[in-house]
Amino acid sequence: MAKNKNTMKKDRPAAPLPTEALSPRGKLIAGAGGALVVSGFVLLSFADPLGRNLPASISPFLLIGGYALIGAGLFLPSADTSSPSL
């Protein structure tokens, strides 16, 4: 069976490239979040199996805080797009 040329999909232009890259301030915040995540996992390796020591209590907060900072750094706008200076 031959292909019908009228029902074939035509080539569409590619999607436009993103206009904004990650801002320098966002990179700094995301990097700090990554460091917190790594330190949380290192601290978690010192936790006892029952979770009754200090590393077992602190590491979840470091992990959640680090992931939150990474998310905030990804969506943080660059400093020059903020309100105009007076």
18 domain residue, yes or no:
no
Chain centroid to CA 25: how far?
Answer: 13
pTM greater than 0.75: no
pLDDT one-digit tens code per residue, 4-57: 666 666 777 877 676 667 888 999 999 999 999 999 999 999 999 998 999 999
55 domain residue, yes or no:
yes
68 domain residue, yes or no:
yes
11 domain residue, yes or no:
no
Q: CB–CB of 66/30 below 8 Å?
A: no
44 domain residue, yes or no:
yes
Domain limits at 58? 30-78
3 domain residue, yes or no:
no
Residue 76 tokens read as 């943080």
Work out how many domains the chain is built from and give that number.
1
Cβ of 47: how many Cβ atoms within 10 Å?
Answer: 17
